[in-house]
Amino acid sequence: MRGIHYLSKLKAANIPPELLEKGQNRVIDASLTLIRERAKLKGELLRALGGFKASATLLGVPLGHNSSFLQGPAFAPPRIREAIWCGSTNSSTEEGKELNDPRVLTDVGDVPVQEIRDCGVDDDRLMNVISESVKLVMEEDPLHPLVLGGDHSISFPVVRAVSEKLGGPVDILHLDAHPDIYHCFEGNKYSHASSFARIMEGGYARQLLQVGIRSITKEGREQGKRFGVEQYEMQTFSRDRQMLENLKLGEGVKGVYISIDVDCLDPAFAPGVSHIEPGGLSFRDVLNILHNLQADVVAADVVEFNPQRDTVDGMTGMVAAKLVRELAAKISK
């Protein structure tokens, strides 16, 4: 809330709006320039290596203020990176790709969310900055965004950018304990509980599959029917397992987007989340779904890891890092 308080003080001091906007524009331009130049550098280096079509590229979006409960996910991106490279395991993915090969994984840093908000930038403009950052990554072949959240509100501007940049809708595989499809949760259209309503309203997804659901209200089911969402709840997972572990997505669209909310997992595997919901997927369930998925995965996100609720030994951070590692293997080609 720091940025909002600061803006209130400026308004109370009768600062001219045009002066404030000019300053905000400079901060936004500087933020986008940093992402642009890092993406250009990584793209140039990878093109020089040649021989491949896609490299998963980390982009952090440390946003937590659209969470309806705790804002700890804002601190997740650096903790996930730390876990990826901590040295407690090797750099190989389960499919045999090496993360220390930049053709598999590279990194363009973080969108400076808190610094932008501290200048009084509202969420409409902030969401645009996130979308533009994603597009800057995608402009540099062969970079494909693998976004580190942040709360789940980031999925809307990321998917919007991917769809607009590719020129059409994508199919989405969404793993989560919650459908996040409220029309406007607690009066916030950008709530992390409303991100997929914004995606579906915008026409950015043709097909949305939600897996791992076990906390869903009447509105969540009604919204799912409204948008034609396939919602697979945990109470029937044993029945649906074979189908979900052999998915084929993306035919006739621009590609497939994967969004993984860490709380899709049972808290026994990932306690470091804001919304602890027992009865979830095992980690191997998730990996089976990812490894067996037949799709051209063009982008992905991992969201809702809350370091402030993790165990002392950082178990959930390692879980999030493992998800990122396997997604990087899926995206890179």
d(CA 161, CA 61): 14
176 is in an annotated binding site: yes
151 is in an annotated binding site: no
d(CA 262, CA 266): 9
Burial of 24 (0-12, 13-18, 19+ CB in 10 A): middle
Peptide bond into 150 cis (omega under 30): yes
CA of residue 234 relative to chain centroid, distance: 22
263 is in an annotated binding site: yes
240 is in an annotated binding site: no
144 is in an annotated binding site: no
180 is in an annotated binding site: yes
d(CA 257, CA 259): 7
- 332 close to 52: Cβ distance less than 8 angstroms: yes
Give one word for 144, left, alpha or beta, with left for phi > 0 and alpha for psi -120 to 50: beta
Which residues are known binding-site members for Mn(2+)?
A: 152, 176, 178, 180, 261, 263
Which residues are known binding-site members?
A: 152, 176, 178, 180, 261, 263
